């Protein structure tokens, strides 16, 4: 089986010949990968900063869409030929940048018929991040104001979409070129981060006390954002760089976890609202290193996927 990954932590991404043989456990689902997402988190995994449950040599990748080709004896929600998407961590066999992927049933979601393979591959990690941040960590209430910093990226956009679906009054910070898409996701206001006055604009919107809740999705942005959160408010950052708490503000460094049932609900809602994810590029497995570099650079301009098979 062909995959794209590493021979050692910190090594360059390359094509690997991986063992095909794998005895499915009772709760395993074997998936023929149609597309796999590429994210900043894959660079963390490449350098050994994220324990995925397996060690090199291994294929990277922690989100994918594909077709079920076999199931374990205790799997009841899925059968052969089902179209699915998954964030299958901890990994059982190999990562998602491969021709086939083993996932535990509890991490797998049914793909809505109207969701494309690339969108379904890009969806799991950002969507689960958004769902868990908005519903569990922030517990956003209907009508509550929420500041989202970094709304132009795939994760930031889905944070807006999930927050808006929960009834939050979303003020988003992003590039002006992303404004139309972010408004379609449900933001009421989009502030241009290129405009140095955007913090003052945000304060004018939220009033003298600040935002009751905020989410940061920009590396290095959380320390600046906490000043805009009200005393006793909540700040969640997805970039592992949360500042020390102050003024009673609760600061959470968020780490995503697998949840197939939540992922399925989020996918259904996303499609029902006729939303899309901007796709910047799709590459074959031999181009995985270039695809990852484009994402890490921050200049990809949208989602990036790998397509293992023709």
- Residues 204 and 228: beta-carbon distance below 8 Å: no
Per-domain residue ranges of the chain: 2-122+277-306, 126-253
pLDDT of 310 reads 58
Q: Say which CATH superfamily domain 126-253 falls into.
A: NAD(P)-binding Rossmann-like Domain (3.40.50.720)
* Distance separating alpha carbons of residues 148 and 157, to the nearest angstrom: 9
Local structure of residue 137 (DSSP, 8 states)? I
Percent of the chain with pLDDT over 90: 95
Token pair for 95:
């990562």
pLDDT of 20 reads 81
pLDDT of 299 reads 82
> Nearest 10 degrees: CA dihedral of 46, 52, 56, 60?
-50
β-pair partners for 253: 237
* Distance separating alpha carbons of residues 99 and 90, to the nearest angstrom: 18
Q: Region 162-191: what's the mean pLDDT?
A: 96
DSSP run (H or E) holding 212? strand 211-216
Strand, coil or helix: what is 240? coil
β-pair partners for 65: 35, 85
Band of pLDDT at residue 69, cut at 50, 70 and 90: very high
- Report residue 212 CA to chain centroid gap: 24
Closest CA to 187 of 225, 218, 159: 159
What global pTM score does this model have?
Answer: 0.95
Q: What number of other Cβ atoms are within 10 A of residue 135's Cβ?
A: 15
pLDDT of 168 reads 97
Q: Region 128-132: what's the mean pLDDT?
A: 98
Task: Look at residue 47 and tell me whether its pLDDT is greater than 90.
Answer: yes
pLDDT per position as a tens digit, 231-267: 999 999 999 999 999 999 999 999 999 999 999 999 9
Average pLDDT, the chain: 96
Strand, coil or helix: what is 264? helix
* Distance separating alpha carbons of residues 190 and 35, to the nearest angstrom: 31
Closest CA to 165 of 146, 180, 150: 146
Band of pLDDT at residue 21, cut at 50, 70 and 90: confident
Beta strand pairing call for 28-38 and 303-306: antiparallel
- Domain 2-122+277-306 belongs to what topology? Quinone Oxidoreductase; Chain A, domain 1 (3.90.180)
pLDDT per position as a tens digit, 189-228: 999 999 999 999 999 999 999 999 999 999 999 999 999 9
Do domains 2-122+277-306 and 126-253 share one topology? The answer is no
Local structure of residue 135 (DSSP, 8 states)? I
């Amino acid at each position: 089986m062909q995959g794209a990954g590493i021979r050692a932590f910190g090594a360059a991404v390359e094509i690997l010949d991986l063992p095909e043989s794998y005895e499915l456990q009772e709760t395993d689902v074997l998936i023929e990968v149609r597309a796999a997402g590429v994210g900043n988190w894959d660079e963390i995994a490449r350098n050994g900063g994220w324990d995925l449950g397996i060690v090199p040599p291994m294929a990277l990748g922690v989100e994918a869409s594909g077709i079920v080709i076999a199931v374990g004896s205790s799997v009841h929600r899925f059968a052969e030929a089902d179209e699915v998407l998954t964030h299958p961590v901890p990994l059982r066999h190999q990562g998602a940048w491969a021709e086939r992927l083993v996932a535990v049933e509890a991490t797998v979601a049914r793909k809505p018929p109207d969701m494309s393979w690339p969108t379904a591959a890009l969806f799991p990690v950002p969507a689960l991040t958004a769902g868990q941040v908005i519903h569990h960590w922030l517990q956003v209430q209907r009508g509550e104001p929420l500041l989202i910093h970094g709304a132009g990226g795939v994760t930031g956009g889905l944070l807006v979409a999930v927050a808006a679906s929960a009834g939050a009054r979303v003020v988003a910070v992003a590039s002006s070129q992303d404004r139309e898409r972010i408004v379609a996701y449900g933001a009421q206001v989009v502030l241009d981060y290129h405009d140095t006055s955007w913090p003052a604009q945000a304060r004018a919107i939220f009033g003298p006390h600040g935002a009751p809740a905020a989410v940061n999705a920009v590396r290095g942005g959380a320390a600046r954002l906490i000043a805009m959160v009200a005393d006793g408010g909540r700040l969640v950052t997805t970039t592992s760089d949360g500042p020390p708490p102050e003024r009673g503000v609760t600061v959470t460094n968020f780490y995503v976890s697998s949840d197939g049932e939540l992922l399925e609900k989020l996918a259904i809602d996303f499609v029902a609202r006729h939303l899309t994810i901007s796709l910047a590029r799709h590459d074959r497995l031999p181009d995985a290193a270039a695809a990852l570099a484009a994402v890490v650079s921050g200049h990809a301009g949208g989602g990036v996927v790998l397509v293992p098979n023709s």
